Amino acid sequence: MRALTWHGTHDVRVDTMPDPEIVNPRDAIIKVTSTAICGSDLHLYDGVIPGMLAGDILGHEFMGEVVDTGPKSTLKKGQRVVVPFTISCGSCFFCEKQQYSACDNSNPVDKQDLSEKLYGHAVSGLFGYSHLTGGYPGGQAEYVRVPYSDVGPIVVPDGLKDEKVLFLSDILPTGWMAADNAAIEPGDTVAVWGCGPVGLFAIQSALIMGAEQVIGIDHHPHRLELAANLGARTINFEATRVSEALMEMSGGLGPDAVIDAVGMESHGFAVDSLLDKAKQKVGVGADRAHALREAIMAVRKGGRVSIPGVYGGFLDKFPLGAMMEKGLQIRTGQTHVQRYTKDLLHKIGEGQIDTTFLISHRLPLEKGPEGYKNFHDNQNEWTKVVLKPGE
Amino acid sequence: MPRNGDWMRQAQNSFDHYLPDVRGIRSRSRRPETLIGAVGIGLAVGAVTYMAARLMSSSNPPSDSAPGRTARRGPWFGDYTVSGRSVTINRRRKDLFAFWRDFQNLPAFMENIKKVELKDDKTSVWTIAAPLGREVDVETKIVEERDGKLIAWRSVPGSDIDTEGRITFSDAPGRGTVVTAIVAYKPPMGELGRLIAKLFQREPEIQGRRELKRFKMLMETGEITTSNPQRQSA
Ligand SMILES: [Zn+2]
Ligand SMILES: [Zn+2]
């Protein structure tokens, strides 16, 4: 089969790889019909995530047709499914609590040591996202082996086209969980740093959850336009002093909840992010986090801090004093995708959520490397790239 | 001649001591057992050195209820390589006990054990893979068994590998069963001994932990997780 593989920083290629097979009883094989490049794939592209090996197949946002099933899979050949990027066994302590992205069993035993050392506990398995999270071949390929296929994949009705449901794999539930973690109450002002895919879906979700106003912060005019189209107010941080603007736009109170949908690719024009960047060049771990620091300073006393943005290492100059003295709550984590897919699929079917506005480019899988380069270099126009294997 | 079981008593006492504490019901009256264990192994392997390390260590004051094997200065088990680890498995105690009690199931999650043949209800022969494609047979006997709670085994005298193991199962309300396995090896002398030592002493802690995790996967999910997309390759 053809698959998009990682070979080093800013070096991805489409290679011919062996087709995947059913290995364990609960497996299924999916023939991929649509797969997207994610903002977090750019972390791999930039080489800032440890545990990547040359030849690893990327991609964790994919959907397709079931073409083979193990004896314990509950899927049937021919079904169309969207596959969550988080791999979950469904039967451990965490899965039973619906904390699917904390699954104890989905990261193979020999791959657990690295994250156990880095984070104190082994992380769960994810598709196409380094050997830290299991070394699973990803979905930017013609075929994927999906373990625990009786737990993760959600069957979608034929009436809903790929582009309407593809983002159930990650960014839609991730944006939704970001808003969920912000514990929104009527009358709230919610500020969202980053109007990339997750930020935009967080904005959309926060409005559905009843926020009085949602403020999107970015510097790409087109992304701010998309935020405004969803009903958000916007701040361009290149033109505006963000903290002062947020105070004024929330009646001098500060936002009730803040969402950092930027993560470690944060690139505000500030001294602290330059410092972070310098440290990141020196070695693993100094996350660039200007947005998070600004969000913590901006949020009102007793407010909520939600972090869907991806971080991998350590953070300097974390405003812990502001956290403590203002009595903030912080909630974060990889998305518990399976907790949200059913409800979100329903909302898509009802027309309450539309995700297709985000897609700026559609390319055949063979042009994947071009997609990565443009998505990386030109974030204003390239808001979301969908790759089509076999085209 | 040190008695075979002394290190085991020490390690197990420390675990017994620790496990109930996880569930918040340990009573302080158990503390003397640890001391008895300490004295036992102290006499066996060098009283002065051991007692000094054990009792003078600032990380083991009477107010510290952690298991001995987590001490900053690790306990000394003489020639034995000891690994021990606890894991919580989301299954009923009696199911886990039953699966483990059938030693023929061990190769399903223990990488080095190629096969197990039963001689009688208490005795079995384990074929263990050694480096360079060699194999070693070890005959083991169950020396203690408490239904649903504990299995302890020991190699019979004259085995290539002197080994003992003990696995305990205790209820973890609302989250299944805490399983604690402690396994010790003392390799033989000679070339084979060095090979086996290499196999078991390289990273016995990691190996023991991985085996328990595979046991947990098998019990909770019915399979052992792999990210390999093909059946045949390793
Ligand atoms: Zn993603
Ligand atoms: Zn699980």
The CA angle A199-A202-A204, to the nearest 5 degrees, is: 115
Element (H, E) at A361: strand A361-364
Exposure letters A290-304 (e unless 16+ CB within 10 A, then b): bbbbbbbebbbeebb
As beta bridge partners, residue A56 has A6
Nearest Cα of chain B lies from the Cα of A345 at a distance, in angstroms, of: 27
DSSP B10-35: HHHHHHHHHHHHHTT---GGGHHHHH
| Per-residue confidence (pLDDT) for residue A41, from 0 to 100 | 94
Contact between residue A175 and residue A63 where contact means Cβ atoms under 8 Å apart:
no
Q: Using CA atoms, how far apart are residues B150 and B144, in angstroms rounded to an integer?
A: 8
* Residue A294 to residue A242: CA distance in whole angstroms: 8
pLDDT digits (tens, 9 = 90+) for A35-71: 999 999 998 998 888 889 999 999 999 999 999 999 9
Q: Do B221 and A26 touch (CB under 8 A)?
A: yes
Averaged pLDDT for residues A251-263 = 95
Q: Classify residue A380 by its DSSP letter.
A: T
The β-bridge relationship of strands A304-307 and A257-260 is parallel
CB neighbour list of residue A56: distance below 8 Å, 6 or more residues apart: A5, A6, A128, A130, A131, A135, A137, A138
Q: Which of A209, A266, A212, A274 is nearest to A242 (CA)?
A: A266
Task: Identify whether the C-beta of residue B185 lies closer than 8 Å to the C-beta of residue B162.
Answer: yes
Q: What is the mean pLDDT of chain A?
A: 93
What contacts A252, CB < 8 A, 6 or more positions away? none
Task: Please report, for residues A121, A125, B122, B172, the alpha-carbon distance to residue B94 in angstroms, rounded to integers and kept in the order given.
Answer: 28, 29, 19, 13
pLDDT at B16: 42
CA-nearest residue of chain A to B206? A113
Residue A229 has pLDDT above 60, yes or no: yes
Dist. CA B80–CA A234, nearest whole Å: 66
* pLDDT of the residue at A185: 96
Count CB pairs under 8 A between chains A and B: 75
Ligand whose nearest atom lies closest to the CA of A59: 1
In chain B, what residues touch A26 (CB-CB under 8 Å)?
Answer: 221-223
> Which residue positions in chain B have pLDDT lower than 50?
1-5, 7, 13-60, 75, 234
Tokens of B194: 């060095």
Task: Record the tokens describing residue B169, joined without a space.
Answer: 């199962």
* Lowest-confidence pick of A77-81, A147-151, A267-271, B215-219: A267-271
Closest to A330 measured CA to CA, from A311, A302, A310, A306: A306
What is the C-alpha to C-alpha distance for residues A367 and A374, in angstroms, rounded to an integer? 11
pLDDT-above-70 percentage for chain A: 94
What pLDDT does B33 receive?
Answer: 34
Task: Flag if A91 and B176 touch (Cβ within 8 Å).
Answer: no
**Structural domains in chain A, sorted by start:** 2-170+335-388 (3.90.180.10), 172-332 (3.40.50.720)
Q: What CATH superfamily is the domain B6-221?
A: START domain (3.30.530.20)
Q: CB B230 to CB A21 under 8 A?
A: yes
Provide the token pair at A330: 């912080």
Nearest to B210 among A22, A90, A109 (CB): A109
- Residue B93's nearest CA partner among B13, B24, B165, B172 is B172
Residue A334 to chain B, least CA–CA distance (Å): 19
Closest residue of A to B208, CA-based? A109
Nearest to B231 among A23, A93, A125 (CB): A23
Q: Angle formed by the axes of helices A197-208 and A171-181, to 10°?
A: 50
Q: How close does chain A come to B227, measured CA to CA in Å? A: 5
CB A12 within 8 A of CB A58: yes
Candidate from A155-164, A218-227, B177-186, B190-199 with smallest mean pLDDT: B190-199
pLDDT higher than 90, residue A356 = yes
pLDDT recorded at residue B185: 75
Sign of CA dihedral A14, A17, A19, A23: negative
User: Per residue in A305-332, pLDDT tens?
Assistant: 999 988 877 777 889 999 999 999 999 9
Find the B202 Cα to ligand 2 centroid distance in Å. Answer: 30
User: In the predicted model, what is the mean pLDDT of residues A86-93?
Assistant: 97
Give the Å distances, CA to CA, from A115 to A128, A131, A284. 16, 9, 13
Listed in sequence order, the residues at least 6 apart from A372 whose beta carbon sits closer than 8 Å to its beta carbon are A12, A37, A41, A42, A45
Q: Which amino acid is present at B164? A: E
- Which of A86-90, A137-141, A341-345, B34-38 has the weakest average pLDDT? B34-38
Cα separation of B68 and B79, whole Å?
18
**What pTM was computed for the model?**
0.85
